[in-house]
Amino acid sequence: MWLTRLSIQRPVFVIVLMTTFLVIGLFSRSKLQVEERPRVDFPFVTVTTVYPGTGPQEIETLITKPIEDACSSINNLRNINSSSQFGISVVQLEFNVGTNSYVAAQEARQKVESVRRQLPRDCDPPVVDRFDTNASPVLYIGLQGDRSAKELRYLADREIKYRLSQVPGVGMVDVSGGEVREIQVLVDKQRLQAYGYSITEVVAAVYNATANVPGGYITEGRRDYDARLVGEFRDVDELRAIRLPMRAGSTARPLTLGDVATIRDSVQDRETVTRVWTRDENGQLRGQDGVGLVVTKLADANTIEVSDAVRKALARLEKELPGNLRFTIATDAANSVRDQLEDIYFALIFGAILAVIVVFLFLHNLRGTFICAIAIPTSLIATFIPMYALGMSLNSMTMLGLSLAVGILVDDSIVVLENIYRHLRHGEPPREAAFNGRTEIGLAAITITLVDVVVFLPMLWMGGIIGMFYRSFGLTVAVSTLFSLLVSFTVTPWLASRWYRLGEDLETRRGVFLLLERAIRALERLYRRLLDGALRWRWAVVLGSFGFLAAFLYYVFPPSGHWRVKVGYIPVSDRSQIGVILEMPEGSSVAETDRVLRQIEERVARVPEVRAMFTSLGAIAGGGRSIGERGHQFGQIQIQLFDKPDLLHALNPFAPKDRHHTAWRTRTDQEIAAEMRRLTADIAGGRLVITPSRGFGGFNAPVQVELLGFDLDRMLATARQIQQRMATIPGLMNVDISLRPGKPEARLAIDRERAAHLGVDVRQIGAALRAAVDGNVDAKFREGGEQFDIRVRYRPEDRDRFEDLASVIVATRPGPDGRLRPVYLRDVADLRVDHGPTKIDRKNRMRRVNVSAFLLPGVPTVGIMNRVMQAIDDVPLGDIRLNLAGDMDRAKTEYPHVFVSLALSAVLVYLLMAVLFDNLLHPLTIQLSLPMALVGALLGLMVMNQEINFTSMAGFILLAGLVQKNAILLIDYTNTLRARGYSREAALKEACPTRLRPVLMTTMAMVAGMMPVALAVGRASESRAPLGTVVIGGLILSTLLTLVVIPCLYTIFDDAVAWIARAVGWGKGRRALVEKALAEEPPPTPAGGGGA
C-alpha cells in the first residue's frame, strides 16, 4: 500500500505527521472543558408561578390549568406535568428528544404571555426556564461569623452574593437561612375597631405615603431642570407619623399610624432554616445555624475551574469583610468530578500498562513491545483534536471511551507486527518484510478497524436521552480506533523496518519467557488436535454449541419473568453522599420541624464516617427532572462522607499521603445509610427517608407506580391498596403515596347576599383577610440603595387563633347614628375548619397520584417491578389509569433505542464485510460469533453479581465490534490460503493455528486493558464496572468458541453454497473462474505456503 511504502521510504514524513498530531492534540486537550457528564440538551421547560397565601386547589384552578391549556398546543410536546402546592404552581413541559430546548422555551414564553391576563392580577409573573443539567449546583456553602443572623443574611444578600456572581463561570447564587430584614407595621385590631378603620385603609395609607415620582422637566432660559417628587421614607420613625384618612364630619384630632399600630425594624417570619455541620480541629462534628449559599455554574463552564475560583473568592471575602466571617464548604461537586476523572485516568494508564505487558509476554521482545505500545499515546492524544473540534468535553463518558479503547489501540499493531516478524523469520530483509507483512493483511486490518468504527456509527442517530450520552462515547472510541489504524499503516512498519534485523529471531528465551513459549506451542499443538476433531464432528460441535447458548438464555430469561440476571437503569455508585428527607405532618410549624431535624442531626453526627452536613428546612429539592416540594413540614439533610480508600491512591505516587487514617472510611454508603436508619428509627413525629445519592437520579425513588384520574378520593383509596401490597414485596422499603392527608384549613364561604347588602365585594374581603393574616408588602422602605419590605398586618395576638379570623375588619359602613361601623368577616362569610390536599400533581391535564418505593441494596429495578406488577394485577381500577413511572418507565423508553442501535450495527457490519470480502456468506459466518459473546457477557454479569444498566448497555455495543475481529482473522487467512491452492480443510488447519497467537494476543491485550474498569479500582467507579465485565466476559467466551465453532460453520456454509450452486447450475461458471485464476498465478505447494 502506498502509505506504508511512503512511511518506510520517507521516515521524516512519519515523524512530522505524528509530531503534528501530538502537538495539536495536547493543545486541544488543554482547551477541553472538564465535566462529570456530557453536555446534554434535555428538552424540558418549567413554568413557575408564585401566588402567596393560596391553597393547592385554588392554585390548580386559577394558575395551573390555564397555563396547561395554553401550552398544550406547543409543537413536539410529549408530556405536561404539574404540581400545585401552597402558594406556588410548577408546570413542567417535556418535549420529544431532539427538540431544541431554547426554541421550546421561547414558544412556551409566548403561550404563557398569551394567557397572562387570565391569571390573578396579584400573583407574581410566571417564570419560564429551560431545564439544563449542565447548569447544576457546584458548591453548598455555610456562612457563619460573629455577627447576628440578620447581619449575616444582609451581607450574603447585598455583598457576598454579587461578589460570587462575578466569578467567571458562576451562573447563579442562591441564599437561604438567616434572618431577612423587614419593617413591620403591627396593627392593633381593637384600636382599628374603636376608630372605625379597616385593615385595607391602613395598607392604602402606608402605600400612598411613600413614592419617588418623576415629573418631567422644565426649561428656564438656557437650563433644563428635572422635576422629581422625593417622597420616600428617610427613616423608620417617619412611618409613625403617617396620617390616616380623616372621616367626614369628624372633629377629633387626625390619627397617625402610630396611634393604631406598632412599627418596628425587625425580620421576616422564618420560612427556612439553614444549618451547616463540619468537623473542628479536634475532629468533632459541630453544627451551627447560619446562612446557606448554593453556587450554580453556567452550562458551558468548567466545574473544577468554577470550584477553584469560588474558593479563592471566599478566601478574599473572609479577609476583606468584617465580622470574622467563616465559609464552610459542605459539598463540592468538583470533588466528584476529580474522583471520576482521576479514576478513569488511572484505569486508562494502568490498562495500557497491562496491555503492554501482555504484548511483551507474547513477543518476548522489547523493541516489538515498544512499537506496539507507541500506538496508545499517539492515538489517544490525537483523539483530542476532533473532540475539541466537535465541541466535546472531557467527561465520564468520553474518558471511559478512551480507557476502553486502550486494548483496541494495540490490536492493529499487534496483528501487523506479528505478521512482519514471521516474514523476517523466513529470511526477508527488514524493509521488505515490513512492507509485505503490512500489505498482506491490509484488507483484514482495515476490515477489523472499520468494524469497530461502524459498530458505533448508529450511536450518532440513537434516539432518546441515552443516545445523547452514548454519542460522545461512541465518537471517542471510533476516532481513536481510526487513528490507531493510521499508526499501524505508518509508524509500525516504519519502526519495524528500522529496528528489526535480517533473520530476526527472538532473544534467547530464559525463565518465564521460555515457559510461556513452550506453553503457547503446546497450546498450538493441542488446538490443532482439537480443531481436527471438531472438523470431523462439525455438526455435533455446531448444534451442541448453539444448543448450549439457547439453553443458557432460557435459563437466564425464563418465561416466568424471574430473570436470573439483574436489570436496572441508572448505575449505582458510591458517591460519598447520603440524603435525609424529613416530612412532618401537615400543618407542622417551622419550630416543630426544626426540633425533629435537630434530633436527626445529633443521631447522624455519631456516625464516624460523616464529614459534613448541610441542613435546609422549608423545601425538598427535586432530583433529576422531578418537581420539588415546599412547606414548613419539609426538611432535608445532605450528608458528605469521608472518601473511601482505593487502589488508585495506594498505587499513585503523586496522591496526597498526608491524610490521617481516620479521613478514610471502610464501609460503603449503603452500610452507613443502614446504620443511620437504625439510629433514627425511634424518632417520632414525621416520615423519614435515608438513602445514598443515586448520581443522575438524585435521591428520587426508583420504583414508582402512577395513577391518573380526576377523583382524588378514589385515587387515594386505590393508591392505599397498592401501597399495602407493595409493602409486602421483599426488596422494597419506604413505600409511600404522594397524595397526603388534607392540611387543616380555615375555609371561608362568602354569603354574597349579605356582602352585597353591606357594600363589600369578594376581592375587598380577600384583600382584607390577606393583609390581616399574611400581611401586605406593597410598600417598600429604601435605605443605602437597598430595598426592604414594609409588611402591614395584625399583631400576632390578634391573628394566632382560628377565632380571630371571624373578627377581621374587612370594611366600614355608616351606622344608624351616622358613625362608621366595622364590617367583620363573620358578617359576610361563614367560617369552618376543613381539610385540603397539600399538593395536587397532574400529568397531561389529569390528576396524578404516585406510589413510590426505594430499593434495598443489590435489588434490581426491572426485576422488582415485574413482582410489583404481579402483586397489583388484580387491584380494581375503574376509570383510573395505571402507568409505570420512575426507572422502569425510563428503561422501557430508552432501552429500545439501544436494541435498535445494536441491530443496525449488526446490519452495517455485515454490509461492510460483504463489500470488503466481496462475499455474502463469510460475513454471516463471522457474525455468528455474536451470540457467543452475548452469553459470555451475561455469564460475567451473573458471576460478578452486577446488573444490566445504562452503562453496561454500551458494553454490549462495544462487544458487537470486538468479538468479530478474531473470526475475521481466521476467515480472511483461510480464504487467502484457498486462493493459493489449499483445499478447504487444509486451509483451515493451517490458518487457524497460525492465527492462534495473534488472536490470543489481541484478546488478552483487550482484556488486560479493560481490567481496571471491570475491577472498579477507584472511587465512584462501581457504575462503570458492569461495562468492563460485559466486554471481558464476552471476549473470553467468544474467543474460546470462535476458535472451534467458526471453522465448523465455515465448512457447513461452504457446503451449502456449493450445493445451491450445483442445484441452480452455477458450478460450471465457478470452475471456469477458478481455472482462469490458477492459470494467471500458479499456486505454491502447501509445504511452502507459510503465508501470513
pLDDT at 252: 56
pLDDT at 654: 52
| Position 863 pLDDT exceeds 80 | no
Cα angle at 215 between 212 and 221, to 5 degrees? Answer: 135
The average confidence (pLDDT) of the chain is: 83
pLDDT at 520: 82
Please give the Cα distance from 483 to 412 (Å, whole number): 10
Domain ranges, ordered by start, for the chain: 2-33+338-568+891-1088, 181-220+233-267+744-836, 576-692
Which residue, 606, 426, 398, 604, is CA-closest to 500? 426
Which residues, 6+ apart, have CB-to-CB distance to 702 below 8 Å? Answer: 569, 570, 694, 854, 855, 861, 886, 887
pLDDT digits (tens, 9 = 90+) for 901-936: 888 888 888 888 888 777 788 888 888 888 888 999
Fill in the DSSP letter of residue 572.
P
Please give the Cα distance from 658 to 100 (Å, whole number): 49
| Position 1078 pLDDT exceeds 70 | no
pLDDT digits (tens, 9 = 90+) for 730-753: 889 889 898 876 666 777 788 888
| Position 203 pLDDT exceeds 50 | yes
pLDDT at 862: 77
Which residues, 6+ apart, have CB-to-CB distance to 1054 below 8 Å? Answer: 921, 984
Dihedral sign of CA atoms 511, 513, 514, 520 in order: positive
Please give the Cα distance from 977 to 995 (Å, whole number): 12
Please give the Cα distance from 189 to 793 (Å, whole number): 10
Please give the Cα distance from 961 to 952 (Å, whole number): 15
Q: For residue 505, give the C-alpha cell.
A: 529471531
Q: Pinpoint the alpha helices (H) of 209-328.
A: 237-240, 257-260, 303-320
Q: Pinpoint the alpha helices (H) of 963-1024.
A: 964-979, 984-994, 996-1015
**533 — alpha (psi -120 to 50), left (phi > 0) or beta?**
alpha
The model's confidence at residue 888, banded by pLDDT at 50, 70 and 90, is confident
Q: For residue 932, what are the CA distances in angstroms to 254, 1035, 1045?
A: 96, 9, 10
pLDDT digits (tens, 9 = 90+) for 695-707: 655 567 888 899 9
The model's confidence at residue 1089, banded by pLDDT at 50, 70 and 90, is very low
Minimum mean pLDDT range among 273-282, 509-518, 822-831: 509-518
pLDDT digits (tens, 9 = 90+) for 709-733: 998 889 999 999 999 999 999 889 8
| Position 894 pLDDT exceeds 90 | no
| Position 109 pLDDT exceeds 90 | yes
Which residue, 930, 933, 925, 937, is CA-closest to 970? 925
Q: For residue 947, give the C-alpha cell.
A: 446488573
Q: Which amino acid is at 951?
A: T
Percent of the chain with pLDDT over 70: 91
The model's confidence at residue 223, banded by pLDDT at 50, 70 and 90, is confident
Q: For residue 27, what are the CA distances in angstroms to 382, 396, 736?
A: 10, 20, 53
Burial of 633 from C-beta contacts in 10 A (0-12 / 13-18 / 19+): buried
Question: Residue written as cell 472499520?
Answer: 450
Q: For residue 1002, give the C-alpha cell.
A: 489481541
- Fold for domain 181-220+233-267+744-836? 3.30.2090
Q: For residue 1071, give the C-alpha cell.
A: 470452475
Within 10 angstroms of residue 618's Cβ, the number of other Cβ atoms is 21
Which residue, 723, 682, 730, 687, is CA-closest to 705? 723
Q: For residue 987, what are the CA distances in angstroms to 439, 483, 953, 1059?
A: 20, 33, 37, 20
Fill in the DSSP letter of residue 158.
I
Residue 886 forms beta bridges with which residues?
Answer: 703
Whether pTM > 0.75 for this model: the answer is yes
The full DSSP string for 534-593 is HHHTHHHHHHHHHHHHHHHHHHHS-TTS--SSEE-SSPP---SEEEEEEEPPTT--HHHH
Residue 146 forms beta bridges with which residues?
Answer: none
| Position 542 pLDDT exceeds 80 | yes
576-692: CATH architecture: 2-Layer Sandwich (3.30)
Higher-confidence position of 1083 and 190: 190
pLDDT at 646: 63
Q: Which amino acid is at 662?
A: T
Please give the Cα distance from 847 to 388 (Å, whole number): 46
Q: For residue 410, give the C-alpha cell.
A: 494495540
Reduced to 3 states (helix: H, G, I; strand: E, B; else coil), residue 592 is helix
CATH 3.90.1150.10 fits 2-33+338-568+891-1088, yes or no: no
pLDDT digits (tens, 9 = 90+) for 330-378: 888 888 788 777 777 777 788 788 888 887 877 777 887 888 888 888 8
**By the 8 A CB rule, do 964 and 1083 touch?**
no
What's the mean pLDDT in 136-156? 87
pLDDT at 91: 94
The full DSSP string for 397-438 is HHHHHHHHHHHHHHHHHHHHHHHHHHHHHTT--HHHHHHHHH
Within 10 angstroms of residue 431's Cβ, the number of other Cβ atoms is 17
Burial of 478 from C-beta contacts in 10 A (0-12 / 13-18 / 19+): buried
What's the mean pLDDT in 836-852? 88
User: What phi and psi values does residue 560 have, to the nearest 5 degrees?
Assistant: -65, -15
The full DSSP string for 439-492 is HHTHHHHHHHHHHHHHTTGGGGG--HHHHHHHHHHHHHHHHHHHHHHHHHHHHH
| Position 550 pLDDT exceeds 80 | yes
Dihedral sign of CA atoms 330, 336, 339, 345 in order: negative
**By the 8 A CB rule, do 404 and 478 touch?**
no
Minimum mean pLDDT range among 480-484, 767-771, 799-803, 1032-1036: 799-803
Q: For residue 168, give the C-alpha cell.
A: 467567571
What's the mean pLDDT in 14-32? 90
Please give the Cα distance from 1075 to 807 (Å, whole number): 113
Start-to-end CA span in the chain (Å) = 16
Reduced to 3 states (helix: H, G, I; strand: E, B; else coil), residue 184 is strand
Please give the Cα distance from 496 to 503 (Å, whole number): 13
The model's confidence at residue 621, banded by pLDDT at 50, 70 and 90, is low
pLDDT digits (tens, 9 = 90+) for 772-823: 888 888 899 988 778 889 999 999 888 888 778 888 888 888 777 767 788 8
DSSP β-ladder status, 820-824 and 212-220: unpaired
The full DSSP string for 900-941 is HHHHHHHHHHHHHHHHHHT-SSHHHHHHTHHHHHHHHHHHHH
pLDDT at 184: 92
| Position 103 pLDDT exceeds 50 | yes
pLDDT at 92: 92
Please give the Cα distance from 202 to 205 (Å, whole number): 5
Fill in the DSSP letter of residue 776.
B
Residue 274 forms beta bridges with which residues?
Answer: 616
Please give the Cα distance from 223 to 234 (Å, whole number): 29
What's the mean pLDDT in 45-60? 88
* Residue count (the chain): 1092
**By the 8 A CB rule, do 805 and 769 touch?**
yes
Q: For residue 234, what are the CA distances in angstroms to 182, 227, 237, 784, 985?
A: 15, 20, 8, 10, 104
**By the 8 A CB rule, do 866 and 561 touch?**
yes
What's the mean pLDDT in 974-983? 85
Reduced to 3 states (helix: H, G, I; strand: E, B; else coil), residue 775 is coil
Please give the Cα distance from 888 to 704 (Å, whole number): 8
pLDDT digits (tens, 9 = 90+) for 386-415: 999 988 888 878 888 887 787 777 777 777
Helices (H) and strands (E) in the chain, counts: 39, 31
**53-85: b or e for each residue (b if 16 or more CB lie within 10 Å)?**
ebbbebbbebbbbbbbebbeebeebeebbbbbb
